[in-house]
Amino acid sequence: MTREALAEELAGQPEGLFTEYVRRWKESGGKVIGYSCLIAPVELVEAAGLLPYRIKALGSAVTELADAEMSLYNCSYCRSCLQLGLDGTYSFLDGVIETNGCDHMRAMFENWMHRVDPPFFHYLKAPHYLRDDALEYFLGGLELLKRDLEEHFGSEVTDGALERAMEERARVRELWRDLCRLRELDLPTVSGSEALALEIRGSAMLSSDYASLLEDFIRERERAEGRKPLARLMFCGPATDEVAWFAELEAMGAAVVADALCFGTRAFLPEPPPGDDPLRRLAEGYLGNLFCPRMYLEYGRRRDLILQTARRARVNGVVYLYNKFCDLHGVDSALLRRDLEREGIPVLVLEKEYSARADLGRVKTRVQAFLERIGGEAAWKGASS
Amino acid sequence: MERGFVLREGEGGFERAVGILEMIDKFPDALSDEDVEGAADFVYPDLRNTVLGLLELPSSRQLEVLFFRRVLRIFREAQRAREEGKKLIFIPFTFPPEIFWAFDNIFPLCTEIVAGAIVNICAGQGERFWDFAMGLGLPDSLCSANTIGTMNLIHGPGLKPDAIVYNTPGSCNPNAKIHAFAADYLGIPQFTLEKPVDETPRGREFHYRGFLRFLRELEEWSGQPLREERLREVLELSYRAVDLYNEYWELKKARPCPVPNIFGMSLLVLRSQMWGREEAVEVLQRMVDISKERLRRGEFTAEERARVYFAYIYYLFDFYNYFTWAEKNGVTILGDILAIHHFPEPDLTSMDSMLHMLADTAFDYPMTRQMGASSISVKWLEDISRAANDLGADACIFGGVHACKHTLGTISYLRRELMRQSGLPTLILMGDVMDKRHLPMPMFQEEVMVFVDQVVAKKRQSRRRRRGAGGGCESEAPAPPEGEAGERAV
């Protein structure tokens, strides 16, 4: 992906949801399945010969149709996504997989079901714990999804096809880790907003093509010269696809050298373990490595992962951002701020409205103040000594 | 008198509420109007509306003194629980308490009932604890009921639980997260049960297995196994209460309704905290007896102008201006989502049968059943329309709570379908369950009265006209002409 192409993504608009890639896929007779939450295993969709497409809003702040269905106390990201379903922008989707990610998302999908009535609608019900019985239940859910995909789209999902899809996805994960290494360099050659743009583009592609995109991009950036940022930040939080918003924050001089975001590194954590049964491996990989606040009895794992990443990336501070009314991330952020600051890592918690340009000035002021507080590299040295 | 929330040394909100209940405990059994007026004048404003809400109307007075006393009894026992070798466990209002009463050495206290006591009894109405939560960096979109309840624990001093239970992962994010947060923050064990968003046999089986594991964990933690005989005793008491609940429900159908509005709040407290104990049976029996007697005598507080079913939950921070005010203005509150129970057929023959009963009760517990359904909107609609139609509601009111994103995200569907399928108009309000700052009571009253005057009254009139034209039997007393709302308490 060239700098020019990235710039296009950075200026993403809702009309960009129907990408050239998706258009070509549809023209060749391919079907597209929308999903929203990371718990939906894209490998299974790909193994059915379908294109998994992660539903997003690309910064669209218009929600008038969605507001007639959901309240203003619902997450504006979910309302923006629903809006694009209701206004026909997502009419290219041949089906939708609902997942019970959070209360907002469940409401979004219910309204999608009632008002859009897509040709294929499947509810993948994911437990909220990682326990043996939860794993078996989730495995059963994947079997039901597989069966429904096969029946509706008339394509058998063989073990061989699933294994191949898993290998291709594994390659994407490996490349994402390579990308992260470039972000974490002392002189990063990849910015946080570029990584976000890549994931937004990649989450509407087959894994094999996403891998090629990443390979090209990494090859280019391995040779590039990095720039020393004013401060090294890690961003944590839920699904957000506001690339332009990220870019504006990075333009203040800080680099987002690591993240634990839904459209970011957390999308690449569900790694299937080795084994003979591919569906079981998928179930274990996804349920066991979601690292999302929707999972209970796992706060310690989430905290440790963030702490470990922050240390490895030598960040000066962590910014935990979430959209207004997101209770899952809102509550986690309070615990994380306490625990990370105890470890000497400054934390800024930013509650914001999705894609509200009017909010940007306030947010930039707070980020600027945070950057002044943490004082860049000197602060990190102080914390680690 | 100091108007703020006064905490004495070593006291938290819970202890303060108990202290004030001790004072109320000294009230005589039979209170005259003058006694109630005197008591209301004696206390600070926040408690005044609780005293008046429970005691002003003769219809509820004789019940609510007993109710207060039984709440106090439970709270006192909670304070002594540790001395008596019991472990104190906080549970949410979405979980059947009888499960915990069946353990010899576990004492359950319902988070939201404690919060309700603090809000309705203590000066300042628990705002101190809400503000404390904000100080910890928690989001302001949480639920005041469980946030005030859990923050009282973290804030201290005072009562501290030995463990926290929650069963709302997946059915209510704010509830589950704040309970988990409190357990993490306090460093105490947390026990959880997931109700999957799945009503199929597969979902029920997953839930049942989880329920058994949940019980095993409680047994290991408490160091005592669940005894079959004790469980049977508790379930026998539970089902005596169920029989009375069914009678209570039938009484609600009468026109005009003889059941005082405030009984809806009492039922919630009985179900969330006392079910499985003698106190629930005793208070419910009194509720049924009073309602039957009122029906027999034809005693009603005001002419019934509207029968409304609350599609969600009540606002519970001002009993007087909510329940009493509605009753005085002829607005019968038939129930809310928390009043809709689905008790399985009792089978106390074996440990296995009783455990299945309990698991099914938990699965179909109010709110857990609807918000934890595979479709919130469809299950919610199904239950509300059945209840509203069964009780002869004229309309529904949705008292929206800013924390409850599941219902806020699906209320449009519910309102549309209630009208389309049952002809029931729905008033949508936005407020909060225990924090008055979101929707002050005068605004609530104005909205409800306009709805009753403009929508419900016209609907009743047109129904009467249709019946008249068809030669049907007219059983309802004629509604007062528009604009003549009768006496209104504001």
Q: What would the pLDDT profile of B218-252 be if each residue is shown by its tens digit?
A: 999 999 999 999 999 999 999 999 999 999 999 99
pLDDT of residue A7: 53
CA–CA distance from A354 to each of A74, A360, B488 (Å)? 11, 10, 44
Nearest to B408 among A71, A125, A338 (CB): A71
Q: What is the pLDDT of residues B150-191, one digit of tens each?
A: 999 998 788 899 999 999 998 999 999 999 999 999 999 999
Q: Where does the pLDDT of residue A379 fall: very low under 50, low under 70, confident under 90, or very high at 90 and above?
A: very low
C-alpha span between B410 and B381 (Å, rounded): 10
Nearest to B377 among A104, A110, A133 (CB): A110
Nearest to A133 among B139, B197, B206 (CB): B206
Buried b (16+ CB within 10 A) or exposed e, B364-398: bbbbbbbbbbbbbbbbbbebbbebbebbbbbbbbb
How large is the average pLDDT for residues B457-461?
A: 85
Residue whose tokens read 């333009």: A251
Phi, psi of B153 (to 5 degrees): -70, -45
- Residue A152, min C-alpha distance to chain B (Å): 21
What is the share, in percent, of chain A residues with pLDDT greater than 70? 94
State whether B206 and A334 contact (CB < 8 Å): no
Q: Where does the pLDDT of residue B482 fall: very low under 50, low under 70, confident under 90, or very high at 90 and above?
A: very low
Answer with the residue of higher pLDDT: A305 or B467: A305
Residue A346's nearest CA partner among A336, A361, A359, A356 is A336
Q: Where does the pLDDT of residue B489 fall: very low under 50, low under 70, confident under 90, or very high at 90 and above?
A: very low
Q: How large is the angle between the packed helices B144-155 and B173-186, nearest 10 degrees? A: 0
Whether B311 shows a pLDDT value over 70: the answer reads: yes
- Residue A242, min C-alpha distance to chain B (Å): 22
pLDDT of residue A384: 44
Nearest residue on chain B to A112, alpha-carbon basis: B410
**Mean pLDDT score across all residues of chain B:** 91
Q: Is B310 within the bounds of a domain?
A: yes
Q: What DSSP state is assigned to residue A291? A: -
Contact list in A for residue B202 (CB cut-off 8 A) is: 137, 140
Nearest residue on chain B to A320, alpha-carbon basis: B137
How long a stretch of residues is chain B?
490
A351 touches chain B (CB under 8 A): yes
Whether A86 shows a pLDDT value over 90: the answer reads: yes
Q: What is the pLDDT of residues B375-417, one digit of tens each?
A: 999 999 999 999 999 999 999 999 999 999 999 999 999 999 9
Whether A56 shows a pLDDT value over 50: the answer reads: yes
CA–CA distance from A250 to each of A231, A341, A351 (Å)? 10, 23, 18
C-alpha span between A228 and A51 (Å, rounded): 39
- Residue B192, min C-alpha distance to chain A (Å): 9
How large is the average pLDDT for residues A143-151?
A: 98
- Best B143, B184, B200, B414 member to test A by mutation, with max A CBs in 10 Å, is B184
- Residue B485, min C-alpha distance to chain A (Å): 32
Q: Is B137 within the bounds of a domain?
A: no
- Residue A302, min C-alpha distance to chain B (Å): 13
Q: Where does the pLDDT of residue A4 fall: very low under 50, low under 70, confident under 90, or very high at 90 and above?
A: low
Whether A169 shows a pLDDT value over 80: the answer reads: yes
State whether A330 and B141 contact (CB < 8 Å): yes
CB–CB of B464/B476 below 8 Å?
yes
CB pairs under 8 A between A and B: 145
- Residue B348, min C-alpha distance to chain A (Å): 27
State whether A106 and B197 contact (CB < 8 Å): yes
Whether B435 shows a pLDDT value over 50: the answer reads: yes
A324 touches chain B (CB under 8 A): yes
Whether B373 shows a pLDDT value over 90: the answer reads: yes
C-alpha span between A208 and A169 (Å, rounded): 7
Whether A335 shows a pLDDT value over 60: the answer reads: yes
What is the share, in percent, of chain A residues with pLDDT greater than 90? 83
Contact list in A for residue B173 (CB cut-off 8 A) is: 102-103, 294, 327-328
Determine which of A123-127, A164-168, B455-459 has the lowest per-residue pLDDT on average. Answer: B455-459
CB–CB of A47/A164 below 8 Å?
yes
Contact list in A for residue B374 (CB cut-off 8 A) is: 123, 125
pLDDT of residue B349: 97
Q: What is the pLDDT of residues B119-148, one digit of tens each?
A: 999 888 989 999 999 999 999 999 999 999
CB–CB of B275/B315 below 8 Å?
no
Q: Where does the pLDDT of residue B472 fall: very low under 50, low under 70, confident under 90, or very high at 90 and above?
A: very low
Nearest to A299 among B184, B198, B371 (CB): B184
Whether B462 shows a pLDDT value over 50: the answer reads: yes
- Letter for the amino acid at B115? A
State whether A73 and B402 contact (CB < 8 Å): yes
Q: Is B233 within the bounds of a domain?
A: yes
Nearest to A331 among B138, B194, B377 (CB): B138
pLDDT of residue A376: 57
A311 touches chain B (CB under 8 A): no
CB–CB of B288/B251 below 8 Å?
yes
State whether B413 and A70 contact (CB < 8 Å): no
Ordered by where they begin, the domains of chain A are 16-157 (3.40.50.11890)
> Which residues constitute the domain of residue B462?
229-469
A70 touches chain B (CB under 8 A): yes
Q: Is B327 within the bounds of a domain?
A: yes
CATH number for position B342: 3.40.50.11900
A64 touches chain B (CB under 8 A): no
State whether A351 and B196 contact (CB < 8 Å): no
Q: Where does the pLDDT of residue B71 fall: very low under 50, low under 70, confident under 90, or very high at 90 and above?
A: very high
Contact list in B for residue A114 (CB cut-off 8 A) is: 377, 413
Contact list in B for residue A123 (CB cut-off 8 A) is: 197, 374
Round to the nearest angstrom and report the end-to-end CA distance of chain B. 25
Whether A241 shows a pLDDT value over 60: the answer reads: yes
State whether B142 and A327 contact (CB < 8 Å): yes
How large is the average pLDDT for residues B356-365?
A: 97
C-alpha span between B454 and B448 (Å, rounded): 10
Q: What is the largest CA-CA distance in chain A?
A: 61
Tokens of A381: 């040295």
Whether A382 shows a pLDDT value over 60: the answer reads: no
Whether A76 shows a pLDDT value over 80: the answer reads: yes
Contact list in A for residue B411 (CB cut-off 8 A) is: 71
Whether A381 shows a pLDDT value over 90: the answer reads: no
Q: Where does the pLDDT of residue B6 fall: very low under 50, low under 70, confident under 90, or very high at 90 and above?
A: low
Q: Is B117 within the bounds of a domain?
A: no
Residue B351's nearest CA partner among B243, B202, B221, B235 is B235
Q: Is B15 within the bounds of a domain?
A: no
Contact list in A for residue B164 (CB cut-off 8 A) is: none
Round to the nearest angstrom and report the end-to-end CA distance of chain A. 39
Q: What is the pLDDT of residues B247-269, one digit of tens each?
A: 999 999 999 999 999 999 999 99
- Cα Rg for chain A, rounded, in angstroms? 20
- Residue B463, min C-alpha distance to chain A (Å): 30
Q: Is B427 within the bounds of a domain?
A: yes
Q: Is B87 within the bounds of a domain?
A: no
- Residue A205, min C-alpha distance to chain B (Å): 30
pLDDT of residue A3: 53
Q: How many domains does chain B have?
A: 1
Give the three-state DSSP class for A35: strand
Contact list in A for residue B177 (CB cut-off 8 A) is: 293, 327-328, 331-332
- Letter for the amino acid at B257? C
Listed by number, the residues of chain A in 199-218 with a beta carbon closer than 8 Å to a beta carbon of chain B are none
- Residue A108, min C-alpha distance to chain B (Å): 7
Listed by number, the residues of chain A in 128-187 with a beta carbon closer than 8 Å to a beta carbon of chain B are 128-129, 131, 133-134, 137, 140
Complex ipTM: 0.92
Nearest to A331 among B139, B190, B402 (CB): B139
CA–CA distance from B455 to each of B7, B257, B451 (Å)? 46, 20, 5
C-alpha span between A118 and B242 (Å, rounded): 43
**Mean pLDDT score across all residues of chain A:** 92
Q: Where does the pLDDT of residue B420 fall: very low under 50, low under 70, confident under 90, or very high at 90 and above?
A: very high
- Residue A379, min C-alpha distance to chain B (Å): 23
